[in-house]
Structure 1
Amino acid sequence: MRFSNLAVVMTSILASFGEVTEDQELDFCEVFAGCHILHSGAEAWGLRSRCLDVCYTRKMNILTNFGFILLLSVVRRIQRSGTAWYAVPCSSWIWLSRGSTHRSWVQAAGPRRGRSSSVRKANKLARRVAYALEYNFRKGVEYVVENPSSSLLGCFQRHGARRVTIYLGSFGARTLKPVTLWGTVGRLLSDHLLRVGQQSAGADAGVVFEDFDDLEGDDSELEDLV
């Protein structure tokens, strides 16, 4: 599906469900929410929030057509300047699985031939998340993607995304566990989390903090995610 076709899908959703009314608008949405800590925190701050995860119901499996439409239906409710947070499942993208997935920095989507079923499913999931991110960006909704620092998912960053690495070991985790957050939430990623990253890694630890050039408005770089 091309980004131009995404517009057709969103138009169909609009025709089916109508315009988003003010009382339906969201400030925050946590996708792949798990125990929904961020969603709960957003609600505690008085924000209008929703969370999605297949562990709540199989209807939220975005690998299915229904689940993907459900994702887009919720994402479109996030108001301009709101935030979407995606903690994409990482097992297929981290270094521990490279021996079975055969992913690499050169071929982040895996070799074109002989991809396993699990790799194809992970690629499909990443591609559908990429379409949601594209919709977020074009609507003016900020987004953050969360993944372990060894994840190859960041190879598909777009929109002049910024990223910062923090260490969960500084927040109670049993291991150092570096996690990279990347996205368009400029103030969040450039100020607060940069300070958190410096504090958790140490002043001389070389916190990863980068800008990425904006890409053209097509999905050619996602063609391998099939």
Structure 2
Amino acid sequence: MSELPAWKSDLISLCLSSNVLSFGTFKLKSNRTSPYFFNCGLFSNAKLIRAISSAYAQALNTHAEENAGWGFDVLFGPAYKGIPLCATTVEKLGSLDEKRWGEVGYAFNRKEVKDHGEGGLMVGESLKGKRVVIIDDVMTAGTAIRESIGIIKAQGGTLVGIVVAVNRQEKMPSQSEKEGKGDDGSVRGSAIGEVRRETGVPVMSVLTLSDLIEGIKAMGKKEEVEKMEEYYRQYGTTD
């Protein structure tokens, strides 16, 4: 593995000290037992939301620098977790590069359509005729992302990218696992890989499981690293 950039190492260290990243035995929705858990819901104070929104901004800016001609007009955060993420990340993008990102807007949807005042489903920038990136915390099965894609299309926007906090780099659970019968051994890709293939747009992440392993290894946490590596050997995928 290559050496992590300082901003990723610093973020991993902060997540560990704030219990956003924790180790133990965690039962996932897939019925898998994970040795680690990344709780994005804990990015709930000034220091932590500043850190994660700055990291999202770094990931988006890096992708733009490495892919000439790529950019976007609106950052869309699906309700509810995406709402603070889109607003704070837009501000961090403007601070990072005012010339490139200063005019980027943000928007989010309501869970229920408002029938009074300004009304409607959407809050923030109009998506009509705009290039849109979805920002969210994690992608498990891709269901929420697909709902967001439907909203963007209905509002006249064009999806050009997706960014999430963590890519667990693991294959989607089989029906057998969902039923508590264990992995059936079939070859499957990740939710991120499936959405990338369906949409044809880049799906970026602030951190991957590989990043977490590298960052924790640098801290000398041998036991935790071994358990994460074993989990990856069992469930990991490259997409």
- TM-score over 0.5 for the pair: no
| Structure with greater proportional strand content | 2
Provide the TM-score with structure 1 as the length reference.
0.34
